[in-house]
Amino acid sequence: MLISRLPERAARRLALAALTGAAGVLCFAPFGLFWLAPVVWLVLFALFVAADNTRQAALNGLAFGLGFFLTGVSWVYVSLSVFGGMPWWLAGTAAFLFCAVLALFPALAGGLFKRWQPEAFWQQALYFAALIATVDWIRTWLFTGFPWLALGYSQAPPSPLAGFAPLLGVHGLSLLVALAGALLLRWRIGVPVLCILAAGGFGLRQIEWTTPAGSPISVALVQGNVPQEMKFRPEAFFRTLDLYQQLIEQHPAQLTILPETALPVFIDQLPPEYVQALQRSVRAHGGDLITGTLTGDLDHYWNSAVSLGTSPSQVYSKQHLVPFGEFIPAGFAWIMAQANIPLSAFSRGPESQPPLAVAGQHVAVNICYEDVFGEEIIRALPQAGILANLSNTAWFGHSLAQPQHLQIAQLRAAETGRPMLRATNTGMTAIVAAGGDIQAVLPAFTTGVLQGEVVARSGTTPFIRYGNYGFLLLAGLFMLASRWPRRR
């Protein structure tokens, strides 16, 4: 049994936990070893079961979390130091502390597991799965939330478990993966369960929860590849405008989408003749343009997406802002004074905003990491037939952030049964099909336009209808079953 082979010394177990956490990043994009996830969380389960006390289990969870997040979201350092201008030592300290806070969640799971560890193996497995998935869910809303690298994201297509996404969402996938991993401790039980889950997920993948709505529309997703250090420089402003105008004119489509803050000024400060030229370009083909830009004024401004073209102009303003990047939490202004991050005091957009009516369709727009929050995306559904994400991940350089973000978009498409259009500054610009499969993608850090056709979808999935309630109900049942008294 795996438990008998674990190191006896506590320090070596902590090292094993950290290395296992680091290996867990391989389960996610761009590595895509989704089949490895149950094995990684099996080791964490074994460490929790074998811990001598609550403190040791919590420390094992902390070490696992540090290995996992320091490896998986180390790109936070890039944004603070390379592009934010923060001194390397302060950026390194801030990135480490950020990852250490995230590591507290698996530490909490370890402490709670050992504090109330059931006796029966099957109850231990249920309890472990419920704890792992629940602490991931808590990360989605505590302190405004940071659900990046929730376990379920590792099961984006082509994983067969992605078939459960329309039913239970990403946190339901976390629950199933953690359960399968724990049961593998006794492989005669775990392997058949894992096979049953894979077969069930494959079968669910064959179900079309939503139906096509209307004819295909042509789309053009523009990737400007404007260097982050030049984005807000006055001398690069007109060069940027010319670049986007040329790309739009050379790639006509019914729906053209530019990245987040592609036009890096307030929309009403753009030269009127430039706005008119963009409108003429898209109207010539009966189309519409959605572009990332700024709205408001210097006292109150929003990170927005504005539509121009054949349809009446409309605005979506980002409502889930990035802490430290788009707003400064109370008491942390002194840290941000060491960085050079422009426009870091955005106002929040309204919580509920209608989808944009463009190109004869309703498009649910979200900006940057808003698409990490599945329950917020479904607010515009089922009215919207297409999802669209405008991002600028140039802040994170050549790191894991871009492929990880695309994988998140795959889960949103799978949960909602809607295609997802991603227009990004430096990557990864992509068309994601309604089931979560990547239909087409541009190479990162290249200038180009991704053209294709998409069909809007109508109808609802269980996740659209109930959000995370299905996952929470199942996790609650796991908890209750794990506490069920044993018959003597």
Active-site residue list: 260, 318, 368
**Residue 325 structure tokens:** 């990047």
Cα angle value 484/487/488 (rounded, 5°)? 140
Contacts with 263 (C-beta within 8 Å, 6 or more apart), sequence order = 240, 241, 244, 270, 291, 292, 293
User: Which residue, among 270, 271, 288, has the nearest Cα to 279 in the 3D structure?
Assistant: 288
B/e letters for 270-288, b = 16+ CB within 10 Å, e = fewer, are: beeeebeebbebbeeeebb
**Residue 210 structure tokens:** 């939503």
Contact 27, 88 (CB under 8 A): no
Sign of CA dihedral 265, 320, 71, 34: negative
Cα angle value 258/261/265 (rounded, 5°)? 120
Contact 210, 459 (CB under 8 A): yes
**Residue 66 structure tokens:** 């540090």
User: Which residue, among 284, 243, 277, has the nearest Cα to 263 in the 3D structure?
Assistant: 243
Residue 421 CB-half CA count within 13 A: 32
Ordered strands of the 255-257 beta sheet:
315-317, 301-309, 288-296, 255-257, 217-223, 448-454
How many C-beta atoms lie closer than 10 Å to residue 265's C-beta?
A: 15
Ordered strands of the 386-391 beta sheet:
356-358, 361-367, 386-391, 420-424, 430-432, 438-441
Q: Tell me which long-range contacts 230-235 makes (C-beta under 8 A, separation of at least 24).
A: 231/261, 231/264, 231/392, 231/394, 231/425, 232/264, 232/342, 232/343
Return d(Cα 172, Cα 471) in angstroms, integer: 5
185 DSSP β-pair partners: none
The number of helices, as runs of H, and strands, as runs of E, in the chain is 15, 14
